Amino acid sequence: MIYMDNAATTMHKPQEVIDAVVNAMNSMGNAGRGASEAALSASRVIYDTRDRLAELFGAEDARRIAFTSNSTESLNIAIKGSLNPGDHVITTVLEHNSVLRPLYEMEKNGVELSIIRCDEKGMPDISQMEASIKENTKMIICTNGSNLTGNYVDVSVIGKMAHAHGLMFAVDASQTAGVFPINVQKMNIDILCFTGHKGLLAPQGTGGIYVKEGIELRPLKTGGSGIQTYSKEHPVQMPTALEAGTLNGHGIAGLHAALGYLKKEGIDNIRRKEQELMWRFYNGVKDIPGVKIYGDYSQKERCAIVTLNIGDYDSSEVSDELLMEYDISTRPGAHCAPLMHEALGTVEQGAVRFSFSHYNTDEEVDTAIRAIRELAVEEA
């Protein structure tokens, strides 16, 4: 199978990630729950993984990073742990439902919500974002990269603007962590939410949240912590404050190995390869009659995503044909990005998303180009 659904999850993982998970499942105990070698070994891997994440994201202290199961959990912590009735929060139409649904839930509980529109190419209107700031505005939260169009959002500009107004700034880095350089201090990011199973090349069920020193979030869950057992309240010190219960040690061992792979290969090199494949595909399909591509391709820096439609051909049918006739895996439909589809006018048809990995080849991309060309002829 030619796998081109890497924005959903990177299926091809480095061999060292697979080996690390297998080794952990044969040897790892429960971190912070005992003094056995198995427990201490787990603690060391988890501690070192925090260190590697802190280095990757430019965090001031590794203890400011808590592990979660994915970006969705991290975003729920960021949103539900910081906003209160009467607060005002600003977001964009680019957002995934992992941002929108928690915000809608908070809106029902008395939080005021403003959603910033985008232009015809799917780029958010930053000037409208600043114009929407009010006396009770507490937070701006937005994506670093659209999972639908692949548009890269320069969050450093938004972070600078947010801090100029004394606002908290939270970023969804689901599509950019492990792919684009992120420095939370230089980019004025107060909360960074990320997943392990996409650009970080780690197992599913891994993720995390960075919380800037001085910011306290209400935990989403409380319970076993391995420390302060006789306290009726969950510990408030990071990272334990946001980590209740046994961590996914086996997955984190895989994340640890993945971070080592990314450092060895270089995220700039990986991104360059993925973008070369993306541009090869884009240039191969953009002039095919009947093909419409969504997103801003005036950007050199963008996520390795090309989303398109062929005439009035239903996106699910196109994706099925790609799989059944060409053995190409893509993602049709709505991509958990309802407001972006509304803005692009693709609610009924959906769209077909191709998303590339550095493990893809030129030959695979050329096969995908040929497939779109042939399907476009059939539709015509």
Host domain of residue 275: 267-379
Q: Are residues 150 and 249 in the same domain?
A: yes
Q: How open is the CA angle 48-55-244, to the nearest 5 degrees?
A: 50
Q: In the prediction, which pLDDT does 40 show? A: 75
Q: In the prediction, which pLDDT does 132 show? A: 98
Give the pair of three-digit tokens for residue 35: 């003094």
Say if 9 falls within a structural domain.
no
Q: In the prediction, which pLDDT does 145 show? A: 98
If one counts the domains in the chain, the total is: 2
Cα separation, 145 vs 143, in Å, equals 5
Using CA atoms, how far residue 233 sits from 22, 140, 228, 237, in Å, is: 35, 30, 9, 12
Q: Could you report how far apart the first and last alpha carbons of the chain are, in Å?
A: 27
Q: Are residues 35 and 60 in the same domain?
A: yes
At which residue do the structure tokens 């201090």 appear?
185
Helices (H) and strands (E) in the chain, counts: 11, 12
Q: Counting Cβ atoms within 10 Å, is residue 138 exposed (0-12), middle (13-18) or buried (19+)?
A: middle
Q: Are residues 156 and 305 in the same domain?
A: no
Q: Are residues 240 and 292 in the same domain?
A: no
CATH of the domain at 272: 3.90.1150.10
Cα separation, 101 vs 304, in Å, equals 26
Say if 36 falls within a structural domain.
yes
How far from the centroid of its chain's Cα atoms is residue 364's Cα?
25
Q: Are residues 57 and 160 in the same domain?
A: yes
* Residue that terminates a domain, selected from 204, 233, 265: 265
pTM here is: 0.96
Q: Are residues 251 and 271 in the same domain?
A: no
Q: In the prediction, which pLDDT does 32 show? A: 62
Q: Are residues 42 and 186 in the same domain?
A: yes
For the chain, 380 residues long, give each residue's pLDDT as a single digit of tens. Answer: 999 999 999 999 999 999 999 999 998 877 766 667 777 778 899 999 999 999 999 999 999 999 999 999 999 999 999 999 999 999 999 999 999 999 999 999 999 999 999 999 999 999 999 999 999 999 999 999 999 999 999 999 999 999 999 999 999 999 999 999 999 999 999 999 999 999 999 999 999 999 999 999 999 998 887 778 888 888 889 999 999 888 999 999 999 999 999 999 999 999 999 999 999 999 999 999 999 999 999 989 999 999 999 999 999 999 999 999 999 999 999 999 999 999 999 999 999 999 999 999 999 999 999 999 999 998 66
Q: Are residues 261 and 316 in the same domain?
A: no
DSSP structural state of residue 190? S
Give the pair of three-digit tokens for residue 219: 């935990």
Q: Are residues 35 and 172 in the same domain?
A: yes
Q: In the prediction, which pLDDT does 22 show? A: 97
Closest to 93 measured CA to CA, from 109, 72, 116, 123: 116
CATH of the domain at 101: 3.40.640.10
Walk across the sheet containing 305-310 and list its strands.
291-294, 305-310, 352-355
